[in-house]
Amino acid sequence: MKVVVAIDSLKGSLTSLEAGNAAKEGILRVMPETEVIVKPLADGGEGTMEALIEGGRGTRITLSVTGPMGKQTECSYGILEDGRTAVMEMAQAAGIMLVPEDERNPMLASTYGVGEMIRDAVYRGCRYFIMGIGGSATNDGGIGMLSALGFQFLDSEGQSVFGGAGALSRIVSIRTDEVLPELAECEFQVACDVKNPLCGKDGATFIYGPQKGLPHELCNETDKGMLHYAEVAESFCGCTCKDIPGAGAAGGLGFAFLTFLNGTLVSGVDLVLEAIHLVQEIKDARFVVTGEGRLDAQTAMGKAPVGVAKIAKQYGCQVLAFAGEVTEDAVKCNEAGIDAFFPIVRGAVGLEDAMKPENAKRNMADTVEQVFRVIYGMK
């Protein structure tokens, strides 16, 4: 019998592969002859880089880049085993958590460091990029990232425009003669699960700007600046991308990938599932084990475990999910393809104790073991 295990990280407790290997241990205690395949799992957001580096035997690259408010910051990205695929999270270089709350200012915050990450990977030979773009501190339409890659955004006097959202209204032309030539060979797959357009009441500025420190009274003016930038960019590139769902992701970074880098916005879950080649392993499996830290109704709305379950059901697999916590509304997960789910916490313990890695590993292995004892008895 073959079992495929793909569990999302239990944040603050276990990585994806740590959780998966603990589940594998529990299965093999009962059925030592079973083929158990463990795959990393993430949803395209935080933890995606770690999961894919671990699962793809990748290499972590650490470098100093320009942070969102102009200070140097250390960030990391991964290069997978093929040597040509880079896995990045924009939040490493321009994330909101890099800026103290009282210093957040999207009028100034820039994505320049994201471009520095990409440039570094290009120089190392990468031509395929898996990009997570959640958690940004920025609303600069991606001009910072693009500037680091050689694009020049010029004002009415022919001077380069730098900065955050406050610079967008000053752009009147774009030059590309200094753009990295290797970008023409690059492919960008962007994990994007938000549907916001670039501009308007549902766009980047109005929906996410205030969360990043933009005063409400500046939203209208800032959105007009974003629209101005979009019109200049689209006229220059000969395309119309500002209304595409996801263009407003990460303060317009989605728009920059679409318009200037020929990027593709895809579901974060789908992107990861393709990257880990899950279908190939599930095709001949009998059971699929998945899960995450907290299983609830939100899980059923398209999070990673349900993405796994949808694939598994295409091939007739039984799907079992294990989680640190299971809420009452988690029954929605049954409707989304998870046949049965189980909390792994055993007894009344405090959250701190439950999340200790050694306890979480033991609880995962022990709970999975008991479930598979039932399966073994039904063979």
With a cut of 90, say whether residue 218 has pLDDT above it: yes
Average pLDDT over residues 347-374: 88
With a cut of 80, say whether residue 133 has pLDDT above it: yes
Least confident window among 8-12, 225-229, 243-247, 358-362: 8-12
Domain membership of residue 34 (yes or no) is: yes
* 254, 366: one domain: no
- How far apart, in whole angstroms, are the C-alpha atoms of residue 272 and residue 51? 9
**DSSP-assigned beta bridge partners for residue 36:** 3
Q: Phi/psi of residue 107, each to 5°?
A: -65, -25
Last residue of one domain, picked from the residues 235, 268, 301: 268
How many CB atoms are located within 10 Å of the residue 128 CB?
A: 16
CA contacts within 13 A on the Cβ side of 20: 23
With a cut of 80, say whether residue 352 has pLDDT above it: no
Q: Residue 124 CA to chain centroid, in angstroms?
A: 22
Burial pattern 161-200, b for ≥16 Cβ within 10 A else e, equals bebbbbbbbbbeebeeeeebeebeebebbbbbbbebbbbb
With a cut of 70, say whether residue 128 has pLDDT above it: yes
* 291, 256: one domain: no
- How far apart, in whole angstroms, are the C-alpha atoms of residue 254 and residue 251? 8
Averaged pLDDT score across all residues of the chain: 94
Domain membership of residue 275 (yes or no) is: no
Average pLDDT over residues 254-270: 95
* 250, 175: one domain: yes
- The H or E element spanning position 88 is strand 85-89
Domain membership of residue 327 (yes or no) is: yes
Q: Quick one: pLDDT at residue 206?
A: 97
Q: Residues 66-99: pLDDT tens digits? A: 999 999 999 999 999 999 999 999 999 999 999 9
Q: How far apart are the first and last CA of the chain?
A: 10
Q: CATH code at 12? A: 3.40.50.10350
Q: CATH code at 143? A: 3.90.1510.10
- Band (379; pLDDT cuts 50, 70, 90): low
Please identify which residue in the block is written with the tokens 């753009």: 179
Average pLDDT over residues 232-257: 96
Q: Residues 18-45: pLDDT tens digits? A: 999 999 999 999 999 999 999 999 888 7
Task: Report whether 93 contacts 201 (CB < 8 A).
Answer: no
Q: Residues 161-204: pLDDT tens digits? A: 988 999 999 999 999 999 999 999 999 999 988 899 999 999 99
The tally of domains found in the chain comes to 2
* Overall size of the chain counted in residues: 379
**DSSP-assigned beta bridge partners for residue 280:** none
- Band (123; pLDDT cuts 50, 70, 90): very high
Q: Quick one: pLDDT at residue 302?
A: 84
* 223, 138: one domain: yes
Domain membership of residue 273 (yes or no) is: no
Q: Residues 267-304: pLDDT tens digits? A: 988 888 988 889 999 999 999 999 999 999 989 988 89
| Gyration radius of the chain over CA positions | 22
Least confident window among 52-66, 106-120, 148-162, 201-215: 52-66
* 104, 243: one domain: yes
Average pLDDT over residues 119-148: 96
Domain membership of residue 274 (yes or no) is: no
Q: What percent of the chain has pLDDT over 90?
A: 84
